Amino acid sequence: MTTAPDTGTPDVDVDLMVFGDNDQAFLEYPQPHYAKMRARRPLLSAPGAVQTTTRAALDTALRNAEIYSSGMEGAPLGTERPLIPLQIDPPEHRKYRKLLDPLFAPKQMAKLEPQISAQVNELIDGFEARGSCDFTNEFAIPLPSQIFLRLFGLPFSELPQLLEFNERTQRPGGSTAQEHLAARKANAQDVYRYFADVITERRKEAPRHDLLSKLLTTDVDGERLSDEEVIDVSFLMILAGLDTITDTLTCSFKFLAEHPGHRQRIVDDPSIIPSAVEELLRWETPVMTIIRVAHADAEIEGCPVKNGDYVLACLGSANTDEKEFENPDEVIFERNPNRHIAFGGGIHRCLGSHLARQELRVALREWHRRLPHYELPRGFVPEYSDGLRSVRNLTLLFPAAS
Ligand code: HEM
């Protein structure tokens, strides 16, 4: 088992990270690698790709969407059309956010608090007496999935199907790039068919109060979304909305299980939870890297970028940049200000951030109220997924309720 430092990072000496590796040591403690990458910033990691690692370099890439596009034509997700709004550039992007932002506004998400709280408690009821849980499968996956499906307006029985779509996009079968692409294309066709059927059924009914009904019935600038547009939004929602909170929960609870001092801070003073959530997002940054493609010759911090180059924006590294954060290698729940970019930046900044924050805060509050003492099993070896950082096998032990 790798010993976690009390605060900060282990003293490791490794080569620069090549993204896409399934390097478990990197995935568990990426922060020292980020520091090494920043020392070589911004570096040309491969022909046709620039890796940006500092906060300043990422700001340039993410805040200039006219040059650094997320259009990604031919992106390897196997889709026929861009995912909306993630793969749409300005000015069209604005139209979609105008429709979607109010649906995910803080006030709307605050209304979900009782439902999230009830859901968290129901899940804990299921394993509290046992004194242990498969945290990933019994808590971190079902919680955001149940909340999201209800919000979207799909029955919970659809979850296995949606998780399968998600898994086949993130980790497609095959061993070569061509095989991956073929598997993703087949998956995308299945997703298109699935949502086309859901929409056809929905159109036969009176509108409900859920997200899908709102997508089907709301006008933006006098126009309604076409069925294809609703499918392309829905496709992105299941990719962005199911996994990311799961990933953040598993990374955060592993950190807390390994750092009893931090955990006790939450137990003693739950009012610290909102800023603890931000600091855990900064430190763990489950979405490590996002990608843009340059639509013109340009320059980032003195490094030439050619038209057509991919720009790999390493959010995890920007979130531990010593120029932005004092003592970046310490996890400080009171950190203020905390301008982390775990939710991205610029026009594509996460649409679901308020939903994510609400779920993470309620999960931390209710969990620590009921199960203040927990730990990892002796000899626990975490298994991280590649792609998004997530502990796939997190197990927690706690005193069994009598
Ligand atoms: C802790 C949880 C989450 C994290 C860390 C996260 C992270 C991110 C990041 C980094 C981006 C920017 C991607 C880019 O610019 O290329 C993003 C965008 C997005 N996220 Fe999230 N996300 C989370 C939860 C959610 C949830 C629950 C939803 C569901 C509604 C969601 C929906 C979206 C959408 C639709 C976009 C694209 C926005 C646009 O292009 O305008 N996210 N997210």
Give DSSP secondary structure letters for 78-94.
--SS--TTTT--TTHHH
Does residue 17 fall inside a structural domain? no
Write out residues in the chain with pLDDT < 70, as ranges. 1-21, 41-42, 44-45, 73-75, 402
Q: Assess whether the C-beta atom of 85 lies below 6 angstroms from ligand 1.
A: yes
Q: The whole model's pTM is what?
A: 0.94
Residues whose CB is less than 8 angstroms from the CB of residue 358 and which lie 6 or more positions away in sequence, other chains included:
109, 110, 112, 113, 116
What residues make up the domain containing 333?
Answer: 44-371
Write the residue with the smallest CA distance to atom 43 of ligand 1: 350
User: CA quadruple 45, 342, 88, 210: dihedral positive or negative?
Assistant: positive
Q: Assess whether the C-beta atom of 143 lies below 6 angstroms from ligand 1.
A: no
Site to substitute for ligand 1 among 244, 291, 364, 388, most atoms within 8 A of C-beta: 244
- The pLDDT value given to residue 173: 81
Cα of 15 from ligand 1 centre, angstroms: 30
Q: Which atom of ligand 1 is nearest to the CA of 242?
A: 27
Residues whose CB is less than 8 angstroms from the CB of residue 52 and which lie 6 or more positions away in sequence, other chains included:
41, 42, 58, 60, 61, 300, 301, 311, 312, 313, 314, 318
Burial call 376-398: b when 16+ CB within 10 Å, e when fewer = beeebebebbbbbbbbeebbbbb
Q: Identify the three-state secondary structure at position 235.
A: helix
Q: Assess whether the C-beta atom of 316 lies below 6 angstroms from ligand 1.
A: no
Cα of 350 from ligand 1 centre, angstroms: 4
Count of CB atoms situated within 10 Å of the CB of 237: 23
Q: Assess whether the C-beta atom of 355 lies below 6 angstroms from ligand 1.
A: yes
Write the residue with the smallest CA distance to atom 23 of ligand 1: 244
Q: How many domains does the chain have?
A: 1
Q: Assess whether the C-beta atom of 277 lies below 6 angstroms from ligand 1.
A: no
User: What is each CA distance from 119 to 65, 100, 157, 317, 371, in whole angstroms?
Assistant: 38, 25, 16, 34, 16
Cα of 114 from ligand 1 centre, angstroms: 23
Does residue 7 fall inside a structural domain? no
Cα of 261 from ligand 1 centre, angstroms: 30
Cα of 344 from ligand 1 centre, angstroms: 8
Does residue 388 fall inside a structural domain? no
Does residue 287 fall inside a structural domain? yes
Does residue 62 fall inside a structural domain? yes
- The pLDDT value given to residue 125: 98
Which CATH number is 92's domain given? 1.10.630.10
Does residue 188 fall inside a structural domain? yes
Does residue 317 fall inside a structural domain? yes
Does residue 395 fall inside a structural domain? no
Q: Which atom of ligand 1 is nearest to the CA of 85?
A: 40
Q: Assess whether the C-beta atom of 348 lies below 6 angstroms from ligand 1.
A: yes
Six-digit token string for 222: 């006098």
Cα of 320 from ligand 1 centre, angstroms: 20
Q: Assess whether the C-beta atom of 234 lies below 6 angstroms from ligand 1.
A: no
